[in-house]
Amino acid sequence: MRSDGRVLNPRRSAAKPQYAALDVSNEETAVHIINGAGATVWRGKRVSDPDVLTAALQRYAPDLVRVGLETGPLTPWLYHTCKALGLPIVYLDARHARAATALQRNKTDARDAETLAQLVRMGWYREARVKSYATHTVRHLVGARAQLMGVAVDLSNQIRSTLKTFGLMAGKGAGRAFENRVHDLIAERPTVAGIVEPLLAAWRAVRGQISVPDRRLIALAKGDATCRLLMTCPGVGVIVATSFAAAIEAPEHFRHSRSVGAYLGLTPARHQSGEIDRSGGISRRGDRLMRTYLFEAAASLLVRVRQDSALKAWGRALVERMEFKHAAVAVARKLAVVLHAMWRAGTPSSLGPRPYEALVAEARRRRSPRSAGVKRTEASPPGREQSHPGLGLVAGLEPDRAFDMVSSASRRMVRRSIGPTAETTTIRR
């Protein structure tokens, strides 16, 4: 069998329909075309370029039904370009493709392409979703920031390790305090300074570059309504909101909000075979960085966020029964479910305070002459109106004070209406 583009059997090539698969590498892509009976029509290699691959498929498979493409670094570029050129291309789930190709005794690119073509013909695959270029841009921006943060931490740890060898302790602290402390320690040690100063200069340069993606992410979150909506949830900031929006891309991709936890690998993993039935740990599927950020947001909600909420109370109750990390993972899964439910419903979180813009608008409305005749009862504090507990604003009150009053009133309303499981009521809303 030659790979020069020659049709192997004209009779087989005339059979309809036709299926194809691509096994992509950096330089060349293995192409395999089969007919409806599974017989090979044409196979060969072409340059990994969408125009070249599309021309080859349209020439040797004029009645093409589907083209299978496996997961890889070049997949988004090839998928979107070939789709725009009119190819009926499908994106194969990597786990299904790996399970099929693992059965081969001799693994080659040509055999992998043939196996993928048979999968496409029989339909024994799960089609995965390819994200848009805009989503990939945000995801890579968050990834670049995480990479810079990791490099800065590695450099600071290397500096601390070097100083400890000579009996010098940098102590706790980061940023400018850490840099000043290191300079004081190596001021009278020229030998150690010759080792540490290059590391310190690299650490300073990396920390200076971290602010670049930070500013871009902040500007992105300010200009995106979805990110502003997600940030109304306690514990969720710019990084978590932008990462979650990029990971999910659209709330319509998930029929149920609880499926988001499984998609991000935050649900328990289970292994059952015969008498063995073992369940423990999480599946760790999906976006690892998004899973890490959700865990950090859950830990922040349990430890740093002062505002009470039913979700925080539920998480603190878990901390009393199990380890903190296990409880934080459970809260992270609940948090992912709540964020998706908020996004799908288009409503702010009921677990936290109302958005600042809504509070200012409500305060201005209550300053109008219509609110001058509002009656107050003795049970109400001076200056507070007897109204819905979630709208405890005062006519003429400053927005910051109104923000605090709404927060406390909302907490009372959540406790009465939701009870110990805030996330379930939020999802139904």
- Sign (positive or negative) of CA dihedral 353, 355, 356, 361: negative
**How many domains does the structure of the chain reveal?**
4
**273 has which bridge partners?**
276
In 3D space, the residue among 400, 389, 388 whose CA is nearest the CA of residue 363 turns out to be 400
* pLDDT 10s digits, 375-403: 433 333 333 333 332 222 223 333 333 33
In a domain, residue 59? The reply is: yes
**E strand residue ranges, 139-244:** none
Same-domain pairing of 334 and 365: no
Is it the case that residue 181 has pLDDT exceeding 90?
Answer: yes
Residue-number span of the structural domain to which 96 is assigned? 10-122
pLDDT at 1: 46
Same-domain pairing of 116 and 16: yes
Give me the percent of the chain exceeding a pLDDT of 90. Answer: 62
CA angle 239, 243, 249 (to 5 degrees): 150
Distance between CA 171 and CA 193 in Å, rounded? 17
| Structure token digits, residue 38 | 């599974």
Same-domain pairing of 247 and 325: yes
In a domain, residue 1? The reply is: no
Same-domain pairing of 91 and 32: yes
pLDDT at 350: 76
Same-domain pairing of 312 and 334: yes
Look at the block and give the residue holding tokens 């430890």.
Answer: 303
Same-domain pairing of 368 and 316: no
* CATH code (residue 47): 3.30.420.140
pLDDT mean across residues, the chain: 81
* pLDDT 10s digits, 346-371: 999 876 554 545 545 555 665 555 44
Same-domain pairing of 167 and 202: yes
Burial class (CB in 10 A: 0-12, 13-18, 19+), 373: exposed
- Across the range 203-220, mean pLDDT stands at 95
Does 404 or 158 have the greater pLDDT score?
Answer: 158
pLDDT at 171: 87
pLDDT at 365: 65
Is it the case that residue 12 has pLDDT exceeding 70?
Answer: no
In a domain, residue 217? The reply is: no
Q: Among 122, 146, 166, give the residue marking a domain's end.
A: 122
Output helix, strand, coil percentages for the chain, rounded to the nearest 5. Answer: 55, 10, 30
Binned at pLDDT 50, 70 and 90, residue 202 comes out as very high
Same-domain pairing of 248 and 320: yes
| Structure token digits, residue 247 | 């990971």
Task: Tell me which DSSP letter residue 352 carries.
Answer: S
Phi, psi dihedrals of residue 34, rounded to the nearest 5°: -130, 165
In a domain, residue 202? The reply is: yes
* pLDDT 10s digits, 97-122: 888 888 888 889 999 999 999 999 99
